[in-house]
Amino acid sequence: MKAATLNSVPKRGMTLPLTMAVLLILSLLTMALYEMLGAERRASGLHLRKAQAELSAQSGLEYALFQMEHQSAPWRTESLRHTSVDPVVSFEISVQQDGPFSKVSVRNLGRDSGVAKLEMRGGFRPRNMPAIILLNPSATLALVGNAKIHGSIAIKTGNVEYSTNYMQPAGKDASFNGPVLGADWKFWDSISFHTDVSRHIFDDLPEKGFCTFDAKDTLPQNVECGTVTLRGDAFCNKCTINAGRVFIKERAILDKADVKAKFISLSGTGQASGTFFAQDTLSADLNSVQKNTIRLCVQGRKTGSNAYSGSLEINKLNAEQATLMFFGDNWDASLPGISAYISSQSKISGRIIIHGTLDMHGTLYGALVAWDFSFDESATRWNGFLKDATITADSTQAELIPDAIRLGGRAGAEAL
């Protein structure tokens, strides 16, 4: 009897299992391919909904900026809803006052909402401004000491000259090398101040309590207290401070802070960036170079028939990106006092906008707007005199300024 060999093993019955195995593999491959294509479709759909939501929110922001730019006064709304013919673009807008700026909030309401929200700081970006704009219709400008102006000056009826007053003469280094833009300057009509929109910001500030942050304390996101003091190495990152009085001193660091108070004092060797908005007085005496964007703003207010409370006092400030603003709410030239003082120890790149009288002695690279220049010396008020200051026009400056101050330019927004 012959022994069985491999070639002699019966092969019947192997076809069916082999076929089933192949079909199983093909089924698994098909299911995997289907799942892959389905996942891709779902991801594509999610991406589309997200893109549509972002487009809808961006459309809302553009609509808000359009309204801001085409209204003669600051545009505000608690809730405005819009839906296009194609309901994919549907949004809700809120524009409210938030300190000196407006806060633009946009929410997508699209049918297939891939929820998108935007919260931005709204305002204007004036460009190519003259070195100086003097708002007083009868202003003249006399250079005293070593005053230097590099760039054009917008002044309605007066002119620019070197002072020959024996008590306040122009020095040999005084200079002015720009054109004078007179009453025919086409941008005069675009300048206006709407300071009433920010009055209510200070209505409910806390009056009582003392909150001191010292050593290496980190501030909470929201601080509300009658008097807030930051000293030592106290640190704040995107914090909000609402207080009656705020004192920032020593090495304290405030990064992108939002501070509102009746009185604000900044001093020491620390760093401060963000927006600081005072109702009555804001003083700065900072010994270190401020490298990030800092906005120092005073509202001001009339406290009697011939009394006014409001002062921006810059005793020392070396800032690479700064905007200094005095709103001058209900201010007029008949009121006594000087609205803003900037010392000779100040060197600022940015913009200075003073709806009032300015005593300017520092150095500015950017643009300056004021009612008029003035300073007190030897028991005399010297109106229309610029002493020792250096002002150089810088057309690259494009800081966002509040839409309550109209200086032309395009409406814009930036992240909070």
Domain match, 90 and 227 both: no
Indicate if 114 and 195 belong to the same structural domain: no
* Dihedral sign from CA coordinates of 365, 371, 372, 373: negative
CA angle 177, 162, 340 (to 5 degrees): 85
Instruction: Clarify whether residues 22 and 69 are in a common domain.
Output: yes
Contact 336, 384 (CB under 8 A): no
Same domain, 77 and 45: yes
pLDDT of the residue at 1: 45
The verdict on 107 and 162 lying in the same domain is no
Let me know if residue 399 belongs to a domain. Answer: yes
- Number of structural domains, the chain? 2
Asked which of 125, 155, 177 is the last residue of a domain, the reply is 125
Is the same domain home to 266 and 360? yes
The answer to whether position 30 is within a domain reads: yes
Closest CA to 358 of 161, 185, 136, 169: 136
In a domain, 45, yes or no: yes
pLDDT of residue 397: 77
Q: Are residues 110 and 151 in the same domain?
A: no
User: Are residue 107 and residue 232 in the same domain, yes or no?
Assistant: no
What is the pLDDT at residue 84? 72
Residues 107 and 144 grouped into a single domain: no
Domain span holding position 191: 132-408
- Residue 38 counted as domain residue: yes
Q: Are residues 163 and 219 part of one domain? A: yes
Residue with tokens 């500015």: 364
Mark whether 146 and 91 lie in a shared domain.
no
In a domain, 2, yes or no: no
Query: DSSP string spanning 338-393?
Result: -SEEE-TT-EEEEEEEEEEEEEE-SEEEEEEEEEEEEEEETTEEEETEEES-EEEE
**Residue 360, in any domain of the structure:** yes
**Pair (51, 172) in one structural domain:** no
What amino acid is encoded at 238 in this protein?
A: K
Helices (H) and strands (E) in the chain, counts: 1, 31
Positions of the chain with pLDDT under 50: 1, 4, 6
Spell out the residues 6+ positions from residue 183 whose beta carbon is closer than 8 angstroms to its own: 156, 157
Instruction: Establish if 11 belongs to a structural domain.
Output: no
